[in-house]
Amino acid sequence: MSHQKFQDCIDECVACAVACSHCATSCLQEEDIKMMSRCIQLDLECAAICRAAAEVMSLGSGFSAHLCRVCADVCKACGDECAKHDMEHCQACAEACRKCAEACEEMATAA
């Protein structure tokens, strides 16, 4: 199994991890942080799992599909939360999560 066939999914995972970390740190500077606490929490969980999925796919691992299954789920949860907030960083993160969930879903099903 080569990492080439994983390349699109790797790219989405990596972009999503960056968007989540950026969203978390941006939420921390918002006026009403309280309202953002669940968003920050899910950002951190999603970033951790996206990074792991990207690393494992880069290694061409046979466990990639299993990790992508979990990654699709956390991306959906994080994206749903981010979508509730109007800030640019939340909307951008929601979009990155949506695309990553889709790519991971495909990977999880195909493998």
Enumerate residues 57-96 that contact its own copies by CB under 8 A.
Answer: 58-63, 66-67, 69-70, 73-74, 77
The CA distance from 9 to 32, in Å, is 34
DSSP 86: -
Report if residue 21 touches its own copies, rule: CB under 8 A: yes
Burial of residue 28 (CB within 10 Å: 0-12, 13-18, 19+) is: exposed
Question: SS in 3 state form for 6-75?
Answer: CHHHHHHHHHHHHHHHHHHHHHCCCCCHHHHHHHHHHHHHHHHHHHHHHHHHHCCCCCHHHHHHHHHHHH
Rule CB under 8 A: choose which of 5, 8, 9, 44 binds its own copies: 44
- Name the minimum Å distance from CB 88 to its own copies: 11
Rule CB under 8 A: choose which of 52, 83, 87, 111 binds its own copies: 52
- Name the minimum Å distance from CB 35 to its own copies: 10
Report the interface residues with its own copies, using CB under 8 A: 3, 10, 14, 17-18, 21-22, 24-25, 28-29, 33-34, 37, 40-41, 44-45, 47-49, 51-52, 54-56, 58-63, 66-67, 69-70, 73-74, 77
